């Protein structure tokens, strides 16, 4: 099956490529025409380093009519690439956020529905077996009624390696846009699609890296989500890990029910050894390869023609929470959402 990776802008692009390039069932082609000149982490330079087939532009890729494409461009460029891919009949895995506006997200969903292709949103954490266990614990009544959820998704500032993450025109926002979405998706799963009725957000730029003048996006954020039946959820979505932190980032959920409390850690650190060259303890995340699990699900959907999940509608629901958070920042007030209707 021919699979194309469109753009190397996102930090996950290289990971997806490395997972696909050596598979005997995949013919991989790539392109990254929007790469900044001279950037060693993008374009043909990266393709040569990874030993993969590279095309000069998107039109060349689409002319080969791939069965599936993975969109890992800057957030604001998702719509154009998804619509082009749908036109040639390719099934699509789109990096999160699905888009930076609801209008663009709806247009992408409609284009894929019209073309009869799957649009999958890249939410790998929901494929974690420990999260599946958490879902079962909630479903079988062990927790009782869910009262509150505290979600944390923190990392180092991605703009240090990829400056576009801190460009509001290309990224659509900062830490809130980047790190709210995974938690919002997990809440979507746990609550069977129920949406918050109110979203309140606070944010600042205090965690902006030293030397960055007049930051254009927030580097730290905290959201409070209120649901119709009294559940309150919070999301810490900050770029708060220093460069010295042993892991790039992490994601946790603390779920408080009437009967019990359950905690989920997507990337629990495991002691791996002592690095004598730097006199530091080396830690490795203790988890399955979530990206590989997500790709397997996507590729299976592309082969069989079944609808991929999480789909575009899922991506749109979590995007709405982010957009409500930004409206709350603008007004300094809680925002009543469509979930209240």
pLDDT digit string, tens, across residues 220-232:
999 999 999 999 9
Q: What is the mean pLDDT of residues 100-113?
A: 98
Which has the minimum average pLDDT: 71-75, 91-95, 142-146, 273-277?
273-277
Percent of residues, the chain, with pLDDT higher than 70? 92
Nearest Cα residue to 108 out of 78, 88, 134, 74? 78
**CA-to-CA distance for 168 and 218, rounded, in angstroms?**
10
**Helical segments of 42-162, H only:** 43-50, 58-63, 78-87, 102-115, 129-139
Helices 13-20, 43-50: inter-axial angle, 10-degree rounding: 30
Average pLDDT rounded to a whole number, residues 51-57: 97
Q: Would the pLDDT of 260 be above 60?
A: yes
Residue 256 has pLDDT above 80, yes or no: yes
Total-model pTM? 0.93
Mean pLDDT value of segment 275-295: 70
The residues, any chain, with a CB within 8 Å of residue 16's CB and separated by 6 or more, are 5, 70, 72, 291, 295
pLDDT digits (tens, 9 = 90+) for 174-208: 999 999 999 999 999 999 999 999 999 999 998 87
For 227-268, the DSSP string reads: -TTS-EEEEE------TTSSSSEEEEEEEEESS-EEEEESS-
Residue with the bigger pLDDT between 249 and 28: it is: 28
pLDDT of residue 339: 72
Q: Which residue has the higher pLDDT, 341 or 240?
A: 240
Q: In which residue are the tokens 């957000």 written?
A: 201
Helices assigned H by DSSP within the chain: 13-20, 43-50, 58-63, 78-87, 102-115, 129-139, 168-171, 175-190, 290-304, 312-331
Greatest Cα pair distance, the chain, in angstroms, is 59
Residue 110 has pLDDT above 90, yes or no: yes
> What mean pLDDT value characterizes the chain?
92
For the chain, the C-alpha Rg in angstroms (whole number) is: 20
Token pair for residue 338?
């469509």
Query: pLDDT > 90: what percent of the chain?
Result: 83
CA 72/CA 78 separation, integer angstroms: 8
CB 181 within 8 A of CB 96: yes
């Amino acid at each position: 099956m021919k699979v194309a990776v469109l753009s190397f802008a996102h930090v996950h692009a290289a990971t997806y490529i490395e997972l696909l390039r050596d598979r005997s069932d995949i013919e991989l082609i790539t392109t990254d025409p929007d790469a900044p000149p001279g950037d060693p982490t993008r374009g043909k330079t990266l393709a040569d380093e990874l030993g993969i087939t590279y095309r000069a532009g998107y039109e060349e890729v689409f002319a080969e009519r791939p069965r599936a494409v993975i969109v890992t461009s800057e957030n604001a460029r998702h719509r154009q690439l998804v619509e082009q891919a749908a036109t040639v009949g390719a099934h699509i895995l789109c990096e999160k956020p699905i888009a930076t506006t609801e209008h663009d997200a709806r247009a992408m969903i409609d284009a894929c529905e019209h073309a009869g292709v799957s649009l999958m949103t890249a939410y790998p954490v929901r494929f974690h077996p420990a999260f599946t266990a958490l879902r079962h614990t909630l479903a079988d009544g062990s927790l009782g009624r869910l009262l509150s959820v505290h979600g944390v998704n923190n990392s180092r500032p991605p703009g240090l390696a990829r400056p576009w993450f801190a460009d509001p025109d290309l990224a659509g926002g900062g830490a809130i846009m980047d790190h709210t979405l995974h938690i919002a998706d997990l809440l979507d799963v746990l609550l069977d699609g129920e949406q918050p009725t109110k979203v309140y957000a606070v944010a600042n730029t205090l965690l902006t890296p030293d030397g960055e003048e007049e930051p254009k996006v927030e580097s730290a954020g905290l959201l409070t989500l209120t649901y119709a039946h009294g559940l309150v959820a919070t999301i810490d979505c900050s770029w708060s890990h220093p460069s010295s932190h042993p892991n790039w980032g992490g994601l946790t959920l603390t779920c408080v029910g009437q009967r019990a409390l359950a905690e989920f850690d997507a990337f629990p650190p495991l002691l791996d050894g002592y690095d004598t060259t730097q006199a530091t303890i080396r830690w490795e995340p203790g988890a399955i390869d979530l990206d590989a699990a997500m790709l397997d699900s996507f590729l299976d959907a592309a082969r069989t023609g079944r609808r991929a999940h999480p789909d575009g509608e899922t991506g749109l629901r979590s995007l709405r929470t982010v957009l409500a958070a930004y409206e709350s920042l603008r007004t300094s007030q809680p925002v009543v959402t469509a979930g209240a209707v």
